[in-house]
Structure 1
Amino acid sequence: MKISTQISFQFDSPEDAQIFYASFLPEFNDMPLKRSHWQVNPPKSESSVIQFHIHAEDATAFRATINSLIQFAHIVEKTIHLTSEL
């Protein structure tokens, strides 16, 4: 069973989306994925949405890819929140 889907992350502001995108690329470009791959569209200048296209060979690979994306988004979200409080 192959899975292909598109997911969107919506951030509080276009600036937060840009921070996520800029942080995400260096971390995940080197990530070895054998049974799945993804593409990310850079956010438009006034958009707070980032879209991912995910293609996985099976449900386990899909779940692992989604989990990695969500965990990284959570880390960036917490970091943005912490820095905005300073």
Structure 2
Amino acid sequence: MSAPLPSALRARFQRYIEEGLSGRAAAARLKLSPATGARWRHQIQTTGRADPAVQGRPKGSGKLAPHVGFFEELIAQDPDI
């Protein structure tokens, strides 16, 4: 997965929206896709900001999550493992 676009770009986009441009027009000025412009505009209208979404898998949902207690106990017995 690629990194989110910089927050400076998002701030410029938000200024264009506040100046009255549509999401598509602001995206065209910044050379973004129209879909990104529409998505960011919607996010600005609902939350007031265009922050990047959280990326990655949620913590504690991996294959070893059911065995965390066992590993903690094992490490507590011998911390030099």
Fold agreement, TM-score > 0.5: no
Higher relative contact order (CA 8 A, sep 6+): 1
* TM-score, normalised with respect to structure 2: 0.24
More strand by share: 1
More helix by share: 2
The structure with more radius of gyration: 2
* TM-score, normalised with respect to structure 1: 0.23
